[in-house]
């Protein structure tokens, strides 16, 4: 029972309870009798009112009263006396009000009132008075607030009036999350409609910042204003139209497409047996409508038309932040081919909030190398070893330009958008000052967290080369981990994301993590570049927009329990995730999109050690029914027992062409499971370091 | 008349003394069984209209505790007068379907009739009404989607439209309300996230934003509240926790502190779990406490599925197994069970 003290019941209480029960039961059975026999006499209807007064949750009694009203309406219709009509409805309003007095959280009572109003019977003043009474008694009652949103338009109250009402409620007591919530709903409507006085965000938002400061700075531990402030920050930073953040190949890129010859440069060359490579578009938010009519790819080859674009999303949704298509250079004359990509020349690329992508273009060159017969084998024939001695620090000076430079070019292109709105940077700078001041007075969690978010927002908006706040933000998150241990993982995740932004923010810092992989037994491979982000205490990965070029990635010895977003790295062929805390195969869902993946190390994780799977519903599976799901219901029902018991592994791995897999050190990995893997992975040559026959 | 008769093996209830900080499993079993017998106090009469929900809460808890088999037999009797006579409503339809799923007896339902009842409640805008009287709420969207999925009849409704309506109830804090513009509430968030999970549409959720809102529901005592600046309550161990799990953000709260809080709300003497320490226990909070502990991987409990709110093995059986044929049920039993179906879809 909500909020009722636990105490042994006394005999006299029990007797009283039994007496009350007996009375209620008699009432109930008499009522049900009336209901079943459609008895709507005055006495019968009164009896239902009595029942509802004691038990407002008796939903069948509310239904009965609606039937009774309809019954009387059909009778009074002929003499159409407005007086008697009025009294019928008035009676219902009274019963509902009495029930609400008994329990103002009663869904049935609130809905009954709504139903009466929808019949055209409403007294504006009465509803307003009732609401005032209930909202005064409990200013957080969400039923009353819902009812208010329903009644306000009926009473012809404008959204401005209602906005003023939230202001009054908040001024009365700022600790009212319900009022802040309603304010955000009303304000975003008014902004969207560009109502009088709400045309310019740069006028409205600074005032709102001032308003919410009063709440935040009066009691920083009260959560009521926290989410409103975060929403304002989002409104300040957000540019409506979607932007292209990066692509692979990037603008100005010279791509060496190799058939079977040795690569001349580990960075700009891409090895493709099939003569195809992916073209990846990375947007700043999820978009829909990327297709051959909204994106044109111009190249002299006629193999490159009618491209099929695929959204990289777990649920087969047609909305995604990253889109990919395959460009086909099979059996073409060896030479350099300029390619130009033009996006959004016809409208159709739309963000989930309905904004269109503005037109932009980028260009790169594809240098197709002559085919040399009988040359070296590629990686995959030999076992790939992730041990430290195989990796040698990459010497940037001895090499030609790296793709890191060209990655930056695209973000600069988008900059006119942000410089055009100085008020945004000004507003953020002002907020930064306010929160620094707050922190100088009091050491509070929300102050530190908000400052960290503001600094990151500031860095995102200004020129990329001026990103100077990483160190301070990382320290803030470090402090927060100590300050609030119960949310330590939240701060750690944020810390990891900022750390990766720092690593990928400049060519220099990124090159510190680039290594040559040298396998002495196969020197002809040509020393591929491996990005090593191992041993960084990462609990989450991000900044994928800067990492689209990576073919070999080492994320081992971190604290990853998710690889969300990794699907963007379409070129990945070797991936080391060993010694993390991945809990299930469904957590590896992003790998399903990585068609080039050959070598995978997931050893020493926690796969199979948990009874609750936290990523089950983030991928399509037999238990969720996404449209166009790859699961054929018959497939799993008729599958053999191994597939049923290992369906997650089956689902994630079955379409990958892995040649090497390390899985040792997971709870799931026993002999039975390993033989299952061998059965479903046809290309597999190495399992846990042992060569298969 | 109760909905269910339990016949208990007396030896199934051992006597054990418990210390604070462990789950008093056998006491809770005893408590759940005892409340079925207690039908003449005021509370049980007040709750009579939702006896179907009570059956689901009690039986699922018993299953999670591994004690469903402690019952020699559960008879669905034709009478269940506490409910007969009450009007059909989608709220009780889900509990009925869940209880039948628990006992692997879904085949007794006239599945077309039940699914027609549910699909008939979908409105133009994709929302669902609770019954013929037209109250709209995202709770009913969840119930409809969950029921139809269990019955393999999701194709009977316009799923895209149902998803669109839920998305229209998304708020600026990442949460969801009853109707568009309604304030975020952990229970409502469970319904919306659960429905999106079942329909494979979780990409509509801003996982980081909602995850932060949800993890801030954990208060100093370790318990979870349902909205900002509210008191903690054991039932939110289910609503908040299952939502956090479905969006893969459950590591953002302290599981240890929450386990401690739930265990602290047990009545160690008479069994049952309450909303807050030292409050009166009830079946609703007993279910949510045990289900919460199951989500927290508390040792000795069966795993529960966060979206369907049914034990994991039951969900597997629903989706991975061949449909049963009806022959293993006696004709008399099937007739009795059919009455149950009729009550909920007439």
**A313 alpha-carbon distance from chain centroid:** 11
As a whole number of angstroms, the distance between CA A144 and CA A101 comes to: 12
Q: Could you tell me the pLDDT band of residue A77, with boundaries at 50, 70 and 90? A: low
List pLDDT tens digits, range B49-60. 767 788 888 888
- A244-375: which CATH architecture? Sandwich (2.60)
Is the pLDDT reported for residue A118 higher than 90?
A: no
Residue A87 confidence (pLDDT):
85
Q: Which residues in chain B are closer than 8 Å to A22, comparing Cβ atoms?
A: 40
Contact B215 A490 (CB under 8 A): yes
Is the pLDDT reported for residue A467 higher than 90?
A: no
To which H or E segment does residue B308 belong?
none
Q: Could you tell me the pLDDT band of residue B42, with boundaries at 50, 70 and 90? A: low
pLDDT, chain A, mean: 86
List pLDDT tens digits, range B177-228. 999 999 999 999 999 999 999 999 999 999 999 999 999 999 999 999 999 9
Q: Is B145 helix (H, G, I), strand (E, B) or coil?
A: helix
Q: Is B295 on the interface with A (CB under 8 A)?
A: yes
Q: Is A459 on the interface with B (CB under 8 A)?
A: no
Domain boundaries, chain B: 4-321+334-345
Residue A464 confidence (pLDDT):
58
Distance of residue B102 Cα from the nearest chain A Cα, in angstroms: 16
Q: Is A67 on the interface with B (CB under 8 A)?
A: no
For B8, counting Cβ atoms within 10 Å of its Cβ (0-12 exposed, 13-18 middle, 19+ buried), the class is middle
Closest among B207, B110, B126 to B159, alpha carbons compared: B126
Is the pLDDT reported for residue B8 higher than 90?
A: no
As a whole number of angstroms, the distance between CA B239 and CA B169 comes to: 17
Q: Could you tell me the pLDDT band of residue B139, with boundaries at 50, 70 and 90? A: very high
Contact A316 B315 (CB under 8 A): no
Contact A177 B229 (CB under 8 A): yes
CATH for the B4-321+334-345 domain, from 3.40.250.10, 1.50.10.20, 3.40.120.10, 3.40.50.300? 1.50.10.20
As a whole number of angstroms, the distance between CA A73 and CA A625 comes to: 45
Q: Which residues in chain A are closer than 8 Å to B233, comparing Cβ atoms?
A: 2
Is the pLDDT reported for residue B170 higher than 50?
A: yes
* ipTM tops 0.85: yes
Residue B71 confidence (pLDDT):
47
Among A241-250, B184-193, B307-316, the range scoring the smallest mean pLDDT is: A241-250
Q: Could you tell me the pLDDT band of residue A240, with boundaries at 50, 70 and 90? A: confident
Q: Which residues contact A103 (CB under 8 A, 6 or more apart)?
A: A56, A57, A109
Closest among A617, A608, A609, A685 to A649, alpha carbons compared: A608
Asked if B172 and A188 count as a contact pair (C-beta separation under 8 A), the reply is yes
Mean pLDDT to the nearest integer, B109-138:
93
Is the pLDDT reported for residue A409 higher than 60?
A: no
The CATH H-level (homologous superfamily) assignment of domain A22-237 is: Protein prenylyltransferase (1.25.40.120)
Distance of residue A670 Cα from the nearest chain B Cα, in angstroms: 22
Q: Is A618 on the interface with B (CB under 8 A)?
A: yes
Residue A488 confidence (pLDDT):
97
> A640 or B39: whose pLDDT is higher?
A640
Q: Which residues in chain B are closer than 8 Å to A55, comparing Cβ atoms?
A: 46, 49
Buried/exposed code over A424-447 (b: 16+ C-beta within 10 A; e: otherwise): bbebbeebbebbeebbeeeebbbb
Name which of A21, A620, A629 is nearest B45 (Cβ-Cβ): A21
Q: Is A402 on the interface with B (CB under 8 A)?
A: no
Asked if A600 and A579 count as a contact pair (C-beta separation under 8 A), the reply is no
Among A4-18, A307-321, A483-497, B43-57, the range scoring the smallest mean pLDDT is: B43-57
As a whole number of angstroms, the distance between CA B314 and CA B321 comes to: 10
Residue A304 confidence (pLDDT):
76
Interface of A with B in 536-595 (CB under 8 A): 561-562, 564, 587
The CATH H-level (homologous superfamily) assignment of domain A507-691 is: Ribonuclease Inhibitor (3.80.10.10)
Angle at A211 between CA A209 and CA A214, to 5 degrees: 110
**A231 alpha-carbon distance from chain centroid:** 16
Domain boundaries, chain A: 22-237, 244-375, 417-462+468-503, 507-691
List pLDDT tens digits, range B94-108. 888 888 888 888 888
List pLDDT tens digits, range A199-230. 888 889 999 999 999 999 999 999 999 999 99
> B22 or A636: whose pLDDT is higher?
B22
Q: Which residues in chain B are closer than 8 Å to A312, comparing Cβ atoms?
A: none
Residue of A nearest to B212 (CA): A490
Residue A411 confidence (pLDDT):
47
Residue B119 neighbours by CB distance under 10 Å = 17
Interface of A with B in 28-47 (CB under 8 A): 28, 32, 35-36
Among A26-35, A668-677, B64-73, B271-280, the range scoring the smallest mean pLDDT is: B64-73
Q: Could you tell me the pLDDT band of residue B123, with boundaries at 50, 70 and 90? A: very high
The alpha carbon torsion through B203, A308, A249, A684 (nearest 10 deg) reads 80
């Amino acid at each position: 029972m909500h909020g009722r003290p636990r105490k042994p019941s006394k005999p006299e209480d029990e007797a009283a309870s039994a007496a009350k029960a007996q009375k209620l039961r008699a009432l109930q059975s008499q009522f049900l009798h009336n209901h079943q026999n459609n008895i709507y006499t005055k006495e019968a209807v009164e009896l239902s009112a009595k029942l509802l007064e004691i038990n407002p949750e008796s939903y069948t009694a509310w239904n009965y009263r609606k039937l009774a009203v309809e019954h009387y309406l059909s009778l009074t219709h002929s003499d159409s006396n407005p007086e008697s009509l009025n009294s019928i409805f008035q009676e219902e309003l009274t019963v509902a009000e009495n029930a609400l007095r008994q329990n103002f959280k009663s869904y049935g009572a609130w809905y009954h009132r709504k139903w009466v109003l929808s019949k055209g019977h409403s007294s504006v003043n009465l509803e307003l008075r009732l609401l005032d009474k209930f909202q005064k008694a409990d200013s957080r009652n969400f039923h009353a607030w819902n009812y208010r949103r329903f009644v306000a338009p009926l009473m012809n109250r404008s959204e401005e009036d209602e906005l003023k009402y939230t202001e009054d409620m908040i001024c009365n007591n700022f600790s009212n999350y319900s009022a802040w919530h309603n304010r955000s709903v009303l304000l975003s409507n008014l902004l969207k409609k560009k109502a009088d006085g709400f045309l310019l965000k740069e006028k409205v938002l600074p005032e709102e910042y001032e308003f919410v400061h009063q709440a935040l700075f009066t009691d920083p531990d009260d959560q009521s204003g926290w989410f409103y402030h975060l929403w304002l920050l989002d409104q300040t930073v957000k540019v409506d139209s979607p932007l292209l953040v990066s692509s692979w190949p990037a603008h100005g890129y010279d791509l060496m497409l190799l058939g079977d010859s040795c690569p001349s440069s580990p960075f700009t060359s891409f090895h493709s047996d099939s003569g195809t490579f992916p073209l990846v578009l990375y947007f700043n938010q999820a978009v829909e409508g990327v297709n051959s009519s909204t994106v044109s790819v111009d190249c002299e080859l006629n193999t490159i038309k009618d491209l099929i674009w695929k959204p990289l999303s777990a649920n087969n949704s047609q909305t995604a932040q990253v889109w990919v298509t395959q460009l086909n250079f099979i059996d073409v004359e060896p030479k350099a081919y300029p390619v130009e990509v033009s996006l959004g020349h016809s409208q159709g690329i739309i963000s989930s909030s309905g904004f269109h992508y503005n037109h932009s273009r980028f260009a790169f060159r594809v240098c197709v190398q002559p085919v040399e017969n009988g040359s070296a084998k590629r990686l995959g024939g030999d076992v790939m070893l992730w041990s430290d001695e195989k990796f040698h620090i990459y010497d940037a000076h001895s090499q030609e330009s790296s793709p890191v430079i060209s990655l930056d070019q695209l973000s600069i292109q988008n900059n006119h958008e942000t410089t055009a709105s100085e008020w945004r940077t000004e507003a953020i700078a002002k907020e930064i000052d306010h929160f620094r001041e707050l922190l100088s007075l009091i050491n509070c969690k929300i102050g530190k967290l908000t400052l960290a978010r503001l600094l990151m927002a500031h860095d995102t908006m200004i020129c990329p080369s001026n990103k100077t706040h990483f160190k301070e933000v990382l320290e803030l998150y470090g402090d927060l981990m100590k300050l609030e241990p119960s949310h330590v993982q939240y701060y750690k995740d944020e810390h990891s994301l900022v750390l990766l932004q720092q690593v990928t923010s400049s060519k220099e810092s990124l090159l510190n993590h680039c290594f040559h992989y040298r396998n002495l037994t196969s020197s002809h491979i040509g020393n591929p570049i491996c990005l090593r982000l191992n041993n960084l205490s990462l609990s989450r990965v991000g900044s994928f927009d800067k990492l689209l070029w990576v073919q070999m990635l080492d994320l081992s010895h971190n604290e990853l329990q998710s690889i969300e977003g990794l699907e963007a790295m379409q070129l990945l062929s070797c991936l080391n995730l060993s010694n993390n805390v991945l809990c299930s195969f469904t957590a590896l869902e992003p790998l399903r999109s990585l068609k080039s993946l050959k070598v995978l190390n997931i050893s020493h994780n926690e796969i199979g050690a948990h009874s609750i799977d936290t990523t089950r519903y983030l991928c399509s599976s037999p238990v969720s029914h996404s449209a166009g799901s790859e699961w054929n219901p018959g497939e799993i029902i008729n599958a053999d027992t191994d597939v049923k018991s290992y369906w997650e592994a089956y689902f994630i791995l079955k379409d990958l062409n892995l040649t090497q897999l390390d899985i040792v050190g997971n709870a799931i990995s026993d002999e039975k499971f390993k033989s299952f893997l061998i059965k479903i992975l046809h290309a597999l040559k190495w399992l846990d370091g042992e060569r298969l026959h | 008349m109760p909905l269910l008769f339990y016949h208990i093996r007396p030896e199934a209830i051992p006597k054990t003394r418990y210390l604070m900080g462990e789950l008093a499993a056998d006491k809770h079993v005893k408590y759940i069984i005892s409340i079925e017998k207690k039908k003449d106090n005021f509370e049980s009469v007040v709750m009579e209209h939702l006896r179907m929900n009570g059956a689901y809460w009690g039986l699922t808890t018993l299953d999670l505790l591994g004690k469903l088999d402690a019952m020699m037999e559960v008879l669905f009797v034709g009478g269940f007068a506490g409910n007969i006579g009450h009007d059909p409503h989608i709220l009780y339809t889900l509990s009925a379907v869940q209880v039948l799923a628990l006992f692997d007896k879904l085949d007794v339902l006239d599945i077309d009739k039940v699914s027609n009842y549910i699909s008939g409640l979908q409105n133009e805008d994709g929302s669902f009404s609770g019954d013929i009287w037209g109250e709209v709420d995202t709770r009913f969207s969840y119930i409809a989607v969950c029921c139809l999925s269990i019955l393999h009849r999701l194709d009977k409704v316009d799923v895209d439209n149902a998803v669109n309506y839920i998305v229209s109830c998304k708020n600026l804090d990442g949460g969801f309300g009853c109707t568009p513009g309604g304030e975020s509430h952990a229970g409502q968030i469970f319904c919306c996230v659960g429905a999106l999970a079942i329909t494979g549409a979780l990409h509509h959720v801003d996982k980081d934003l909602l995850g932060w809102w949800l993890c801030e529901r954990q208060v100093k005592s370790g318990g979870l509240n349902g909205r900002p600046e509210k008191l903690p309550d054991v039932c939110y161990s289910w609503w908040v926790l299952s939502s956090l799990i479905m969006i893969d953000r459950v590591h953002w709260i302290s599981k240890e502190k929450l386990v401690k809080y739930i265990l602290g709300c047990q009545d160690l003497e008479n069994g049952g779990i309450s909303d807050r320490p030292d409050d009166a226990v009830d079946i609703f909070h007993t279910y949510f406490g045990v289900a919460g502990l199951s989500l927290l991987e508390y040792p000795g409990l069966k795993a529960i599925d966060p979206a369907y709110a049914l034990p994991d093995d039951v969900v597997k059986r629903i989706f991975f197994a061949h449909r049963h044929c009806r022959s293993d049920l006696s004709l008399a039993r099937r007739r009795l069970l059919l009455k149950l179906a009729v009550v909920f879809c007439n």
